Amino acid sequence: MAKSTIKRRREAERERIACYEATLRRVQRAPRPAPDFARALNDAGQGFAGVMAREPEAWRPMLKTRDAARLQLAAARHLFALYPVPYALEEIWLDGSGLDADEIALRRRWYVVAARGRSLWKEEARTWLSRKEVHWFLNSPGDLGFDEAIWLAVARSYTGDLGSALRIARSKIARTPRAGFVFWREVARFFCVNVATIAEIDDLCDYLAARREREPGYSLNGRTLASLQRQMAEWHRDLETIARIEAARRRAFRAAGGEPEGRWAGSPLDDWSWKPTAGEVRVRKEQFTVTQLVTADELVAESRAMHHCVSSYAQKCISGQASIWSLRRCVEGNIKRLLTIELNRQHHVVQVRGHGNRLATAEERQVLGRWAKAKAIALSER
């Protein structure tokens, strides 16, 4: 029997309501969990069982937030804080992203020591900061993070100009690795004396980091802001030269159907080293090496150090028409570049030049002769 119009309408209405309720169930937000105070206490107190200022059970939080980081900070304040501390120390409870476990543990220890009113310098900070610097660290502005506050403290120990100190704290110096702290302290001191903008400091930090990676013993002693800027300009030109050489190398490799590997093939000859005998040696632990330059970085570094134009030979090296070699003298870890040597495809010496395109000395030619004899290289008189 056919359903009446009224029944059909009622059934359609029930189906519509059922669909609507099903949709609501799908999109309805799940109930928010209650704040996990127990977990916050456990996370904050982990590793500090014997140094708590208050018992965990005594915490009576009046917090509505469910944010785990804020709860953890509140728990840390309850457990350890007898005295107020700057944001630079509290920050670790809010955000430890990007930090390894050792760094997180160090920053939390600093917080616990300072918050309990103990001597931060004696117990934790004396490796990096003086007593005076610890004072400045503990009185850092509220918008500075941990590393920024450290470098503000370092800068304040060298200058009474708060503006200069803040520029250093907000520069890339504050993002340098802790392992190089001694060198970057020297850099901070330099910029306390030689005032620069944050942008200028950041640019020079890039140069100094690259320079120190290449020369671990590099120092700022005797340098001026103008001389550093000149060196940085030369470094930028070197980077442009390296980029051009690398582009040419990649094009050559692709044209030959190969894959770029960061270096050109170069000569099949191996590098060479020689230690003078007891009767020949002039100083202890003297050694001579001849090393082939097979990357843009090496070629440009040789050109810059020796003050000649060997970097312009990159295309000949990439195409295999020539190979460039560097004769160096090493004495107790100190390496000095002596000569730059060009070989052709037949392993004949095309030219030999020293610093500023000078000719080889008699002693250097003797070392070259040993290398040529060992590697069957034809050594000309040029």
Same domain membership, residue 141 and residue 87: yes
Same domain membership, residue 317 and residue 215: no
Same domain membership, residue 224 and residue 354: no
CA distance 67 to 201: 37
Q: What is the pLDDT of residue 138?
A: 96
Per-residue buried b or exposed e for 126-141, using 16+ beta carbons within 10 Å of the residue's own CB: eebbeeebbebbbebe
Amino acid at 177: P
DSSP state of 83: S
The predicted-structure confidence for 305-349, as pLDDT tens digits, reads as follows: 888 888 888 888 888 888 999 999 998 878 899 999 999 888 888
Same domain membership, residue 216 and residue 292: no
First CA to last CA distance, the chain: 116
Contact 43, 75 (CB under 8 A): yes
Residue 293, helix vs strand vs coil: strand
Say yes or no to pLDDT of 9 above 60.
Answer: yes
Is residue 25 in a domain? no
Same domain membership, residue 86 and residue 199: yes
CA distance 86 to 141: 7
Q: What is the pLDDT of residue 3?
A: 66
Q: What is the pLDDT of residue 49?
A: 85
CA distance 284 to 281: 7
CA distance 328 to 217: 18
The predicted-structure confidence for 61-98, as pLDDT tens digits, reads as follows: 887 787 889 999 999 999 999 999 999 999 999 998 88
Is residue 52 in a domain? yes
The predicted-structure confidence for 167-208, as pLDDT tens digits, reads as follows: 999 999 999 999 999 999 999 999 999 999 999 999 999 999
CA distance 273 to 277: 13
Number of domains in the chain: 2
Which of 9-23, 86-100, 125-139, 141-155 is predicted least confidently?
A: 9-23
Q: What is the pLDDT of residue 256?
A: 66
Same domain membership, residue 286 and residue 209: no
Q: What is the pLDDT of residue 301?
A: 87
Q: Which of 266, 295, 370, 73 is nearest to 59 (CA)?
A: 73
Q: Which of 229, 228, 220, 216 is nearest to 179 (CA)?
A: 216
Mean of pLDDT over the chain = 88
Q: What is the pLDDT of residue 111?
A: 96
Which of 18-27, 123-132, 234-243 is predicted least confidently?
A: 18-27
Q: Which domain holds residue 146?
A: 37-230
Structure tokens at 355: 């610093």
The C-alpha torsion from 146 through 51 and 114 to 116, rounded to 10°, is 140
Say yes or no to pLDDT of 53 above 70.
Answer: yes
Q: Which of 154, 79, 142, 141 is nearest to 111 (CA)?
A: 79
Same domain membership, residue 221 and residue 126: yes
Q: What is the pLDDT of residue 35?
A: 80
Amino acid at 175: R
Choice between 21 and 30, residue whose per-residue pLDDT is larger: 21
Q: Write down the pTM of the prediction.
A: 0.70
The last residue of one of the domains, among 175, 209, 230, is 230
Q: What is the pLDDT of residue 159?
A: 94
Element (H, E) at 142: none
Same domain membership, residue 72 and residue 176: yes
| Beta strands per DSSP E along the chain | 272-274, 286-293, 322-331, 334-344, 349-353
The last residue of one of the domains, among 230, 257, 292, is 230
Backbone dihedral region of 140: left (phi > 0), alpha (psi from -120 to 50 degrees) or beta? Answer: beta
Same domain membership, residue 326 and residue 213: no
Same domain membership, residue 167 and residue 43: yes
